[in-house]
Amino acid sequence: MRRAVLAVVLAGLAPAPQAAAAPGLLRVLQDDATLVHGAEPRRTRAWDELPALGVDVVRINVRWADVDRDPAAWGPYDGAVRAARARGLEVLLTLTTPAPPHAAGTLGGRFRGAQRPEPAAFGRFAAAAGARYAGGPGSPGRVGRWSLINEPNNPRFLGPQRAGGRPLSPALYRALVRAGLRGLASTGHPGRAVLIGDLLATGRRAGGSLSAVGPRAFLRELLCLDGRDRPLRGAAARRHRGCAGPFAPLDMGGVAVHPYYLGHGPLRAPRRAGDLTPATLGTLRRTLRAAHRGRRVTRLPGIWDTEDGVQTSPPERLFGVALGRQARFLNEAEERLWRTPGVRSFAQYVWRDERGLRAFQSGLRFRDGRAKPALAAYRLPLVVRRVRGGGLAWGRLAPGGPATARLLLPGGSGRTVRAAGPGRAFTVRVPARRGAYRLVHGTHRSRPAALSR
């Protein structure tokens, strides 16, 4: 599915100027605890709500060790694929560590199944998953999107991250990716359907074997590029594991990142160079273009946000933000990524707060199912920014409803906006006024959006 921003002309106003928009922006939601492993009837309730919220893709992590030890463990994943198919949703399956004991070791006395996983064994795991979800007779359904290993720059999922002070995890991951791509291709899943990365958005410049490699540095090392995105050659290439000699281009469809932004919001650049937030995610495009020119990849990859969100207080008193700020941050992150060339998706983790305060409290609903303000904001996003000569309102209409909505301006006046196409988005000029802008679409109302820069 492809999405394009639709410029809508308000009565009496000229068309709004637009930034170069991303050619597609799918909405990805992940909540394995509820959608895959949750109890009834909450699980079905969640699945039933997702299409009305505008979710396009459900991301699911398949833990290698779980299904290897117990073939019956595939059952919940089969059920999730069937549930998505019944509701017209796509599935993105992430095949991830921990590995089973016969295929990997333990890192630093912790992180069982993350130490140097065997690429050949991972390839067989990928082939088994690909065959199971190839869509043939007896299959729960065809899975059309895949990714390989959750956060390989995180020592919990792959290690060691470094050896002798130099990044090692990118080279380990490169071998796993090649094996995984071969395994999926052997069962009818082409490289263009596979994402690599799913990278933790923050890291360190140096450290020991448990020190996460930053996402930008990890990607450059993975693709054998130097700090200026030039292909490594000669003596420089020999100093980087696996980069000497010919480089067989990776046949994959995109690079995925988890650009969490915490309490400072999605529009602020990260403090550490090389980290990524929605404000800076598009800067990866330069690296990916260079990788394509240098024949490190077979096609220009898209950039995917596959895990993202912000925790709330309540219930997370230490790191959470106020409920209203979470709602605003979700809309600002989506609007920024919509306008960022090369970005293909916007992610929300999770639908419902996870169990225990040490888990993620970034849900659209509290643990007991009560809606947070973010639920309405996610269903009907609205952002109003100050531009030269006035304001610019961006929003998306909820799926299944009419193609028109009422945009209420501060002071009580209102105007009709119209959107069309699968993205159901609009961008319109509005007067720059103090106060709250609201979008009314059928029975739904957006959060009150104030004019921002």
Burial 374-404 (b: 16+ CB within 10 A, else e): bbbbbbbbbbbbeeeeebbbbbbbbeebeee
The average pLDDT across 387-400 equals 93
pLDDT value, residue 180: 98
Determine the pLDDT at residue 16.
34
| pLDDT value of residue 296 | 98
Q: Residue 257 pLDDT > 60, yes or no?
A: yes
Residues 102, 212, 146, 243: is their CA dihedral positive or negative? negative
* Three state DSSP letters for 334-346: HHHHHCCCCECEE
Distance CA 114, CA 160 (A): 8
CA 355 – CA 367 distance, rounded (Å): 7
Tokens representing residue 180 in the block? 């995984």
Which tens digit of pLDDT belongs to each residue from 295-353? 999 999 999 999 999 999 999 988 899 999 999 999 999 999 999 999 999 999 999 99
CB 279 within 8 A of CB 220: no
pLDDT at 334: 97
- Greater confidence, 211 or 198? 198
Q: What is the pLDDT of residues 414-441, one digit of tens each?
A: 999 998 777 889 999 999 999 999 999 9
Q: How far apart (Å, rounded) are the C-alpha atoms in residues 342 and 345?
A: 10
At 108 the pLDDT is 67
Q: Is the dihedral of CA 102, 108, 112, 117 positive or negative?
A: negative
- As a whole-number percent, the residues of the chain with pLDDT over 70 amount to 94
Q: What tokens does 188 get?
A: 């009818």
Per residue in 63-111, pLDDT tens? 999 999 888 999 999 999 999 999 999 999 999 999 999 999 887 678 9
Nearest to 262 by CA among 356, 362, 366: 362
Residue 23 has pLDDT above 50, yes or no: no
* Residue 357's pLDDT band (cuts 50, 70, 90): confident
Q: Using CA atoms, how far apart are residues 157 and 314, in angstroms rounded to an integer?
A: 30
Instruction: Give the number of other Cβ atoms within 10 Å of residue 337's Cβ.
Output: 24
Q: How far apart are CA 86 and CA 35, in angstroms?
A: 14
The residue count for the chain:
453
